[in-house]
Amino acid sequence: MTPIVADTGPLIALARAGRLDLLRHMYRQVVIPPAVHGELAIGSGRPGATALAGAPAAGWLCVQPVVNQQALQELGQLLDLGEAEAIALAEQLDARFLLIDEAAGRQIARRRGVSVTGVAGVLLSAKAGGAVVAVGPIIEELSNAGYRLSSRLVSAVLERAGE
């Protein structure tokens, strides 16, 4: 199965909401670049860090370096290092998709031919695949954990989920 690559924000959001297991269950393996690994602050005691700490040891969250330094340099002029490495790694691995929520990063990734999805897309896939029965409560958990999705996006996701 083709891997997925993840940026920092969605991983932290799902970990804080206690839903990081959805990624393992649905995709088996998630690959991140070194900068994202550093941004996760595993072992820092921050909310979600404990859940994230077990993922690499369990073998489903893997760190892989970016080899295309030219792509990384181009992307680094437009984005922060984590997003730049995540996009370059998604290109390198011909990833199934890049899990990213940040608008500028999504736009640049798409322009470079990388398929993207965000936390909302993961939740819809989880419901469609039977991993969750409803996305509304998870969106509320994400909100309670400090992760913000626009009201327009929440409405669209709930409509698409039939909730």
What are the backbone dihedrals phi and psi of residue 113, each rounded to the nearest 5 degrees, phi first? 85, 15
pLDDT in tens, 128-150: 999 999 999 999 999 988 888 88
Q: 157 near 139, Cβ under 8 Å?
A: yes
Cα-Cα-Cα-Cα dihedral sign, residues 10, 64, 42, 30 = positive
Task: For the domain made up of 4-161, give the CATH fold.
Answer: Rossmann fold (3.40.50)
Whole-prediction pTM: 0.91
- Residue 44: per-residue pLDDT: 64
Chain segment 10-50, per-residue pLDDT in tens: 999 999 888 998 999 899 899 999 999 888 877 666 666 77
Looking at the chain, the whole-number percentage of residues with pLDDT higher than 70 is 95
Question: Tell me, what's the pLDDT at 128?
Answer: 93
